[in-house]
Amino acid sequence: MPAPRLTTPPNGRGALSNATNRYERLKRVANDPAFADGWTADDDHAPRLGTAVTIDKTKTIIARNQSPDVPFDRSINPYRGCEHGCIYCFARPTHAYLGLSPGLDFESQLLAKPDAAKLLDRELRKPGYVCRPIALGTNTDPYQPIERTWQITRSVLETLIAFRHPFTIVTKSALVARDLDLLAPASAQGLVRVAISVTTLDRKLARRMEPRAATPEKRLATITALAQAGVPTGVMVAPIIPALTDSETEAILRAAAAAGARSAGYVLLRLPLEIKELFREWLAANAPMRAERVIAQLRALHGGRDYDATFRKRQRGEGPYAQMIAERFKLARRRLGLDRDLPALDTRQFAAPARPEPQMSLL
């Protein structure tokens, strides 16, 4: 049966629809004969949509990239899909590779990689491996809610630290503070940097836009906890959404600096592939009076298109508005002392730990 399009998302979810992905030949239509009498699925109570987790049988764990506009060449994603449900997430289209929808499937049909630490140990021991910082949180959040149970990210950190391998973390979850017992000693060795993503300080907007991520207050408190433990911590204002969150840029930077952040960066909203329609649906339901202006401003950033994937343009856009955001950000960073680089990570300590010796039989 075709899946209806909702005007409010299921409880705790960000997307309003679950359209078929771009690879499917048959398409679901957002129209259901069952509602032809005028009732809609959300008129009584928004439905609950549970989270299903399956095992990802991947044989490797380190992903490589050669993108000239990102500061790392390798990363680890312990999970595929993300329960945070951020409507703007640029990783949503990757769920299409699994035959799933970038819509509600992305935030409810998750894949976990419980063998991540074992695979990482094997890859780091390969002859000729050259140590460079590994980024966690580049596609989906390594501290999304299911990490509380699965603890795959923690096992990856334990392995990296055993090898004295440097790493970076980007997250919008307060759960990262759980691992301060690992992160604090690693930071003393020059092995870790953390960035906390803050999109808005508006609690209500955050609840609708990032339904299962930590509240803005919790994220700022997490910056404080990390900073007080000696972990080099920055803030990522990402994404900046024109005509919706752009006016908060300076306020976010002020709050992050007060919390203890030492550096700051930003990324403008990106709408590749299926995200275009998902975000438009969300705008129509959650910010109808601003929707036209948001989309018009976004298109102005990308030469009249919804998105320009060109390296060095995709994250910052171009034109007068992009220049204005860049200048505002630069001035605020300088004024607040957030224009410093976090300490460089040390790759010279990398060494494979001795393998545990098997116990000899007594017989």
Within a domain: residue 362?
Answer: no
User: What is the per-residue pLDDT for 5?
Assistant: 54
Pick from 246, 239, 242: which is nearest to 297 by CA? 242
Counting the structural domains of the chain, the total is 1
Q: Give residue-wise pLDDT tens across range 2-59.
A: 344 555 677 789 999 988 877 776 666 555 444 444 444 444 455 678 999 999 999 9
Within a domain: residue 17?
Answer: no
What is the tally of helices (H) and strands (E) in the chain? Answer: 11, 10
Q: Give residue-wise pLDDT tens across range 319-342.
A: 999 999 999 999 999 999 999 888
User: What is the per-residue pLDDT for 357?
Assistant: 63
Res 107 pLDDT > 80: yes
Within a domain: residue 175?
Answer: yes
Pick from 283, 317, 280, 322: which is nearest to 302 by CA? 317
Instruction: Supply the range of the domain harboring residue 324.
Output: 33-336
Residue 169 belongs to domain with CATH number: 3.80.30.30
Within a domain: residue 360?
Answer: no
Within a domain: residue 345?
Answer: no
Phi and psi dihedrals of 238, rounded to 5? -150, 125
Q: Token match 């398409």: residue?
A: 27
- pTM for the full predicted model: 0.90
Within a domain: residue 341?
Answer: no
Q: Are 50 and 111 in contact (CB under 8 A)?
A: no
Within a domain: residue 12?
Answer: no
User: What is the per-residue pLDDT for 360?
Assistant: 53
Within a domain: residue 61?
Answer: yes
